[in-house]
Chain A
Amino acid sequence: MSTLPETARASATEPIRASATPATAPTAGVPVEAEEIAFDVRNFNMWYGPRQALIDVTIRIAARKVTAIIGPSGCGKSTFIRALNRMHDMTPGTRLEGSVKHFGEDLYGPGVEASVVRRHVGMVFQKSNPFPTMSIADNVLVGLRLNGVRDRAVLQARLEESLRMAALWDEVKDILNRPGTSLSGGQQQRLCIARSLAVQPETLLMDEPCSALDPIATAKIEELIQTLREQFTVVIVTHNMQQAARCSDRTAFFYLGRLVEFGDTRDIFTSPKNPQTEAYVSGRFG
């Protein structure tokens, strides 16, 4: 059985003391309390070939909170969250600088394997993508199975637990052997969330998880995000500012590859400090 998350959480307690020093990032408008930090990103730069996609991003994302990343298309928000679980490793021609720590562990440190990082930092994508060759149950359990979990009782328990956390259990408990692709769009997206939760990450990244869904399915996912934050750190990229306002605790506004403003969601939407943020959240551009 997988004990990875437990050990990771244990080791993650150490850097909290270290991170209790006040944040010095000029962009951070977040009140600095002794709160646990999930992601500590410092002076992060990234390039796609010759084009710089992220410029000197420094941000501290709090644990067990929902952080929304907003900004116009091409501003680097997806690039940014994909850097948080090393999804860029697959893309040839990318180059990066700076550091990303997740509960104190350097994600890009020497010898750190991307696959291990991704077990701690899960990701849900814009378009739901259950594996077409697999049943609902297999979709949820594939991450565990391929990471070596064989114990049937553990798998069964994790299947139900994950589907319950993703608010999908009641809808699918009688059809677990049907193909994952037989579900509706919103259900498929919750299946993908369950699949990510099954490997017990500490953090869940969501890249516009609702942009392909109708309003009712969107509402369900948003409701789900509210329950997930009790146990997980959630970072959500969204194009929908109402969604950011509704379901996040903190909001970061990206523009042209830079983090322009970061703070409590209420402040960002009601009294932004930066005129660009103000223009964007009030709908004057973007």
Chain B
Amino acid sequence: MEFSYDDEQNGLREAVRGLLGRAYADSEQRRAVVATDPGFDEKTWNRLAEMGLLGLPFAESDGGMGAGPVEVSIVAEEIGRVLAPEPFVETVVLAGGLVSDLGTDAQRAEVLGALAEGSLVPVFAHTEIGARWEPTARSVTATEDGGAWRLTGVKEPVPHGARADLLVVSAVADGATRLFLVQGDAEGLTRSGYRMHDGTRAAKVAFAGTPAQPLGDAGTDQAAAIEKAQARARVAYGHEALGAMETALTTTAEYLKTRKQFGVPLSKFQALTFRAADMYVSLELARSTVMWATLVVDADGDVVTAADRARLQVSRAGRHIGKEAIQLHGGIGVTAEYSVGHYTSRLTALDHLLGDGDWALARLARSVDQHETVDALG
């Protein structure tokens, strides 16, 4: 059991922090970027690509860097630290992860190579209205006619679904859930994008007999692979949330030191400092769990359960820290002109994109009687 980063990993963190720190030195820069479509900065996106971050976990033969989940987690944390709106986890971990896991040689080379270069934004179109965080598709269907596949139905909300150049779409085919690639300019594809409360974008994506290419082997049910890719994304989002929670806490602590009321800094009030201390406790417990979950991903252990454990801990911590960060600031915390509320907003989105805390708890509760104890060292 070892929780420290090596020199190369620390170097990676410094480099990413430098890049994103320049791009989003203050929250006004982020506000300006998310004010216009696509809700992130294409120039920053290209710089992330130039640094090799968009190909980080993919095999070198697919155009990637051959790095592991620990490196991915470092980037996700730095994304969260400044609320960079660039879709790193959505593209690299989720959509890219599915293509990396399931794609044919040609699909991997084409999609992952272009993603790594920054010239292709792929996203996973999976959520359907009426479904909650399941690995299966329900209402979008896929039909085959003479070897050509077509999709029909609606996915929504799809993060960055309007900007995406390529959609990885889950659909029901012969009662099974399968994955398909749909080009952004495909016929019969209509997309209407909108803002999420956190400033980033999502879309309604409608398919009307839209041509699609099966991802990998079209003959198998791919729900288990979706579950696993989503689990890895839950862990990566956990790191994004850690970065965001850390900034929310340090911003709050700084505010308590500088803001004066009743003639003294707020840090003189124990009622406030104790609550900040509790935020720190939540943050560190979440950090330990998420770091551990990343190590489980790295070791290819029970990734789904580890992700549920991380999701539960981060959900509780994110809500606690997000709510307290605003309350300890007072009125300024709910303005769009000040940074801290945006952190709470993003934490709220991260809490609901791939499963919230109660959802993860319900899954963990179902199997609670199947083990005597949870062994961290096992």
A binds B: no
B residues with a Cβ closer than 8 A to A are none
A residues with a Cβ closer than 8 A to B are none
